[in-house]
Amino acid sequence: MTDAVGSIDTPDAEDEAPQSKKSRKGGKRGKKGPLGRLALFYRQIVAELRKVVWPTRNQLTTYTTVVIVFVVVMIGLVTVIDYGFQEAVKYVFG
């Protein structure tokens, strides 16, 4: 049984043809030297950084304040729990 793509039992025509060219490992990147690969790496970093949506100063201040308040609250919570365990251990073990 065949469909528009082909049958599962028979391979596609592209799969049957042997590859006549030896392909280098790494494709186009394999042809460049170490400095070329390093330059490509830094160009890709710059391209990705241009895609980033950077926060405004107001947003950055808000996010920083939220993080600091959260950390202070968590420090307080852990301190209270630690003090409770300390008192419980003193009560149990004398």
pLDDT in tens, 1-57: 555 555 566 555 555 555 556 555 555 555 678 899 999 999 999 999 999 999 999
Identify the H or E element spanning 65.
helix 57-93
Contact 40, 32 (CB under 8 A): yes
Task: Please report which helix (H) or strand (E) contains residue 22, including its range.
Answer: none
pTM over 0.75: no
Query: What's the first-to-final CA gap in the chain, in angstroms?
Result: 82
Classify the C-alpha dihedral 29-35-39-41 as positive or negative. positive
Residue with tokens 């460049």: 32
79-83 average pLDDT score: 98
Enter the tokens of residue 64: 């920083």
CB under 8 Å to 24, separation ≥6 — which residues? 30, 31
